[in-house]
Structure 1
Amino acid sequence: MLQHGTDSAIKYYQLGDFELQSGEILPAAYIAYKTYGSPTNPCILYPTWYSGTIVEGNEWLVSTLKHPRRGLDPERYFIVVPAIFGNGESTSPSNTTGPKGGVNMPKTTVYDNVRAQHQLLTQGLGIGTNGEKIAVVGWSMGAGQAFQWASQYPSMVKLAVPFCGSARTSFHNWVFLEAVKGAILADTEGYCGGRYMEERGQQPLVGLKALGRVYAGWGFSQAFYREKGFEKYFGISGVEQVMVEFWEKWSTSKDANNMLHMLWTWQHGDISAQPLYAGKSRLDESAENGGRLSDRGLGRPGAGCEQDEEAFERALKGIEAKVLIMPGRHDLYFPPEDSQIEKEYMGKNGEVKVIESIWGHWAGGPGDSKEDAKFLDESIHTFFKQNGF
């Protein structure tokens, strides 16, 4: 295992040899996390998103001197921000050595991440051991984890606010992610089968630049580009400059194997693909295998059959928490129509509140849109207050 980062505010919870949903072992696994506020206050869990890091990726929604908030306020709540596997802070290809390090790191599901976070909260921080309930909020992949928490540990979650995300990766979202993955893998010379640092001593920059250009057509909406949002909000003029100064700058700052690992987790996001809810098409039928996902339950987006759709409905109906689902009006990943389906399956426990913004997926984070950040903050604050949290 490589050295941890130097940010003293980041802590590390050791999971040991952690058994995954697949049955594989993630050796010497750990979760990176940061806390805000006093542990005597009600707990809000706020997981990171695809490529996002704890401070640079998530802190924009937490109340600080730089940006006061009313929702995630450390004066009122104990806020825990855990990093997902693969983000470079928790156990990731980039910081793990040995036979199961780098490109060989075992794949992790959203279920695995949430089970690890549950262990952090209950065993590491002593939260939930006396029956107290938590709130879970998150953007994008963080929203997927919020849905997962509410379905995986229904008795522990009082409130959930997933914004610009989904409870299950759709067919359309899967296709987009195939293009993201293909951008890296097409750079065969630079990627070197995942051993680029060992063989070339650098990231596959051609592939990472291509990844950024794929993302460029998805992260922001058509309306944002039409209204020259990059010029207005970022001071960047011209489409090529947008590609280079914004998207390639972002993508080339990442580790390729980390991005592919998190992408796999995202593609396989599905709250019904867990023992509590899954039908036979998604679970290994052998009882001695402990209800792990079978090969038939992996590598497939959306509902593969009627049985899968029934399991998805069971999972959403199994949520006991009140859930405020906040899609972006022009989000190309997670459209409001998908959120409405989730709400209909959930019934009275679900509420949809659309973020009326031209920013597309970026309406949900990471804080670039000041108006949308304010709207999210006020919505979360109101939702918590209405539900006595």
Structure 2
Amino acid sequence: MARKRFLLLGAAALLTVSACDFIRFPGDGGPPPTTPDAGPAVPPGAPGPPPPGAPVTDPYGTGDQPTDPGTDTPDTDPADTDTSTDTPDAVTPDADAPDTDTPDTDTPDADTPADIPTDTPADTPTDTPDDSTDTADTDTTPPADTPDPVEPPAPVEPTFSFYGPGALLPGTGEGAPEDMIFSPDMVFPIKDSPAYLQSMVFTFGGGMVGGDQCDERNFEYPWRDNFCETRTSNRNSAYCPISKIHQGQDIRVGTPASCRSERSTAAADREAHEVVAVEDGIISNVGSYSVNLRSGGRIYKYLHLNMKRLSVSIGDTVQAGDTIGYVSNDFGGTPTVLHLHFEITQNNGNGGWDYVPPYTSLVAAYERRENGPGELIDDGDVAIASVPAFVIPEGVEIIE
């Protein structure tokens, strides 16, 4: 057991010796160790002197004194100075040892508060200018290429005026105030001449008023409805409040001058004002003073044309806008004024045909023809009241 302990101690001693550069022992021939200012030499193998109790200013006895305790003094020991003229190999310092000989020239630590600038220089540009606070950068002058404001279009002037549906002349009957457009896509029946919707019986030259049919007052706006106007014959419509009515709309055509010219022209030669088909269809009937155009569930009836100058015959197929004939005053053996009487009858689904108000369909078609709106006279009732009411004498026959 004692031998085993001896071997372990020996091994520990060998490990200690191997960690040293060399081993000193008495009689090795080396110089006796000395300690400056410490008295006689320490015997070989004896422990060194105890550490001083106060700081030593010159521990190596070189006589050098540091001038600033806070300043690192490089080691100038001549024994450590390499007097060789060869370029020394670069020595990599120990990463674990602090560098006390070389001043710290590394980039300052970015985390050190004292090294972080707190103020932004005045001339440092900002990445995104704040337009809301930077008044110097605000330009109140509009760009040169900014277009001028677009002015709203001027209101379109009405091309004609008209009273509302059912607004008959006072004393001439009870109208049908029907706003429905029964034929919304039809063409106006007069190709291009000026047209005036009004009564032919209760205006100048008519049978109830007298005067000249070419009076200038007959060729003025506004238009006036005369569907449901009083008649002597037993004619009716589901849309009229009374029986014995006018079943269509009278249309005066042209100007006072053209009226006088047509009146002086032989009836068979009158062709100043062209009448056209209002829809695609078939000529279903030609009478002594009328022409019927059938288009689907409607029949359009034209009266008082120049029957000697018709452009169609029964069974002809026509397109909207095709010529049918010319305005005149044919009425069999009974005279009437120069005008077109226009009717619309509509299939009621029960095997019958109803006369429907044509006034609103004619207003819409004329707006399309004239490419402009009509002006509705809102005070139509006031205008009607200002006209003396007609008194139809007892027993007078009122015809077209």
Rg (Cα) greater in structure: 2
Structure-1-length-normalised TM-score = 0.21
